Amino acid sequence: MQAQGLPYLESEIDQLSTTTNEGINDDVEEVAGVSEYLTALDHVVGKLKDIAFLNQSNDRSIG
């Protein structure tokens, strides 16, 4: 009976390992997507800061 339990446990461990690895891969992909989004957002914020600076400079030169 004990000999039958070992293959079952090995099978369960393999399944848990596969499920965990798939979960980790999904998390890595999600983090990569968030990182990509944050990089794009940082670029947009940088452009908005440039525009705000130019507008402020134009206001000073006009006034």
Q: How many residues does the chain have?
A: 63
- pTM here is 0.58
The predicted-structure confidence for 11-55, as pLDDT tens digits, reads as follows 999 999 999 999 999 999 999 999 999 999 999 999 999 999 999
**How many whole angstroms separate alpha carbon 37 and alpha carbon 29?**
12
Higher local confidence (pLDDT), 59 or 23: 23
What is the band of 6 on the pLDDT scale with cuts at 50, 70, 90? confident
